[in-house]
Structure 1
Amino acid sequence: MTHTSARPSARQGRDLLQPRELTVRRSVSRYAEGSALLHLGNTQVLATVSTDPKVPPHMRGKREGWLMAEYSMLPRATQERLGRERNLSNGRRHEIQRLLGRAFRASLDLTPFRNQTLVIDCDVLQADGGTRIASLLAGYAALHDLCDRMIHAGTLSDWPIRHPVGAVSVGLVDGEVRLDLDYQEDVRATADLNVIATLDGQLIEAQGGAEGTPLDPDLYVQMLRVGIVGAGDLLRRVQSQLK
């Protein structure tokens, strides 16, 4: 039977179900309409929000605006230099961008942004596991920054973030369920999930599964529940630093 108690482990003093330390600063970009710099353990992500005064063809004439996300990693975000992502057909990159876009659109009422597109750029400055999770949390903080600025400027009358969104990774490592994996844990995981959920525990998306061997469905559900709680925990940490 898998042991999942939150006991200390060798993972830099963290309990198995304890996320890494999180810090976030908003309004870090001089030019972006909204921005945030987030550290999750050793993973660092800069997120910016830009407003574009047009929408894609499928949104023309609609009551709502549109939102899209872009994701990239700097060449020295990892131990060995990565080539710059000049090839826009990169599959992993597009997968993450679609994940981020779906999550942010589920979070935000886009009616106040009619005939506009919000573009959230998430750039990984340093990677140590959980880059898409850190990108989502940083993007949420940048959206909060945008909306707060617009409220204070009088260009937005009602708060449009309907469902604050959090995220966390969950993995099965050495037969143990662990929360918020760093890189060394992630490469050893025999199952992993990225869980995106609201503050009140509603699921937006779960992405992942078994690596190499099938996963018991009951254990999958257990990992999902752990992830929903962990996503809420990290979201509360972000919110406490945005005030």
Structure 2
Amino acid sequence: MILPTRTGRDAHTPRPLTVKRGVNPHASGSAHLCLGRTEILATVSVEDKPAPHMRGKKEGWLTAEYAMLPRATTDRQARERNLQNGRRHEIQRLLGRALRASIDLKHFRNQTLYVDCDVLVADGGTRVASVLAGYAALHDFADRLIQTGRLSEWPLRHAVGAVSVGLVGEELRVDLDYAEDKVARADLNVVATDAGLVLEAQGGAEDGPIAPEEYIRLLMTGVEAVGGLLRDLHRQV
């Protein structure tokens, strides 16, 4: 098998990240994020109504939704109308867990925050790019609340990001594009904070088992890479 090569970055360097916040004038917060050729639009909406399971609680709730536009990929995909789609449901749960960890929901009692992440262009890593885009949109949302005086305390408690890491042949690579993801013999999606705390790791071996040391190396490399991506993101938002 001929393994894909990288141009312009080494094995431990993520693809270029660019982010612009405040791109949707109708949303309470928004961000357009590019990670290489993968593009995500994330928006934040607020509903003055508690989630059913949060009625009477002292905190609000955050939920996330994920969708891929029909021409996000090389071939047109049917528009996702089935909310029970397994992959979509799994990604939405990941996004919700990650983004709830980033925000102190005590500021939003009896409210529900919706973070919508739409994939405009897919070239691998759409779920990790959606975590980054969702966090950038929440950052925009939080900044608006402070600037308008609706909150006096910064509501974000953790900077949260994600990255993919994988073994392509014998080489550990950070932030796999689609061509690399297809041939990786093991891969993880690592969700972490800028302080190096792990929130989640999804994935595993694709071509037979790997040694525990390799798994740990994937995880630790991912955590370090998330820190770098978040520093880059914060310089832009």
Q: TM-score, normalised by structure 1?
A: 0.95
Contact 2:51 2:111 in 1 (8 A): no
Separation in structure 1 between the aligned mates of residue 154 and residue 7 of structure 2, nearest angstrom: 39
| Aligned position for 1:93 | 88
| Aligned position for 1:83 | 78
**Does residue 7 of structure 2 align to residue 12 of structure 1?**
yes
| Aligned position for 2:220 | 225
The Cα of 1:151 is off from its aligned counterpart by 0.4
Q: Which residue among 220, 226, 233 is the counterpart of 1:238?
A: 233
Name the SS of the counterpart of 2:71 in structure 1: coil
Q: Which residue among 97, 100, 113 is the counterpart of 2:108?
A: 113
The Cα of 1:10 is off from its aligned counterpart by 2.7
Which amino acid letter does the alignment assign opposite residue 185 of structure 1? E
Which amino acid letter does the alignment assign opposite residue 106 of structure 1? A
The Cα of 1:203 is off from its aligned counterpart by 0.6
| Aligned position for 1:63 | 58
**Does residue 42 of structure 2 align to residue 47 of structure 1?**
yes
Q: Which residue among 194, 200, 217 is the counterpart of 1:199?
A: 194
The Cα of 1:166 is off from its aligned counterpart by 1.3
Which amino acid letter does the alignment assign opposite residue 181 of structure 2? D
| Aligned position for 1:176 | 171
Name the SS of the counterpart of 1:167 in structure 2: strand
Q: Which residue among 134, 153, 157 is the counterpart of 1:139?
A: 134
The Cα of 1:212 is off from its aligned counterpart by 2.7
| RMSD, matched Cα | 0.9
Which amino acid letter does the alignment assign opposite residue 145 of structure 1? D
- Identity score, percent: 64
Map Cα deviations across residues 154-200 of structure 1 (whole Å, 9 max, x no partner).
11110011111011100110111000000000000010000011111
Map Cα deviations across residues 29-53 of structure 1 (whole Å, 9 max, x no partner).
0100000000000000000000011
The Cα of 1:207 is off from its aligned counterpart by 0.7
Separation in structure 1 between the aligned mates of residue 188 and residue 50 of structure 2, nearest angstrom: 32
Name the SS of the counterpart of 2:72 in structure 1: coil
Which amino acid letter does the alignment assign opposite residue 204 of structure 1? L
Contact 2:50 2:112 in 1 (8 A): yes
**Does residue 204 of structure 2 align to residue 209 of structure 1?**
yes
Map Cα deviations across residues 53-89 of structure 1 (whole Å, 9 max, x no partner).
1122210011100000000000000000000011111
Separation in structure 1 between the aligned mates of residue 42 and residue 82 of structure 2, nearest angstrom: 21
Q: Which residue among 162, 167, 178 is the counterpart of 1:167?
A: 162
Separation in structure 1 between the aligned mates of residue 7 and residue 162 of structure 2, nearest angstrom: 21
| Aligned position for 1:4 | none
What are the ranges of 5 or more consecutive residues in structure 1 without an aligned counterpart? Answer: 1-8
Aligned length: 234
Q: Which residue among 123, 145, 167 is the counterpart of 1:128?
A: 123
Name the SS of the counterpart of 1:156 in structure 2: coil
Separation in structure 2 between the aligned mates of residue 116 and residue 31 of structure 1, nearest angstrom: 18
Name the SS of the counterpart of 2:101 in structure 1: helix
Separation in structure 1 between the aligned mates of residue 194 and residue 155 of structure 2, nearest angstrom: 15
The Cα of 1:208 is off from its aligned counterpart by 0.7
**Does residue 14 of structure 2 align to residue 35 of structure 1?**
no
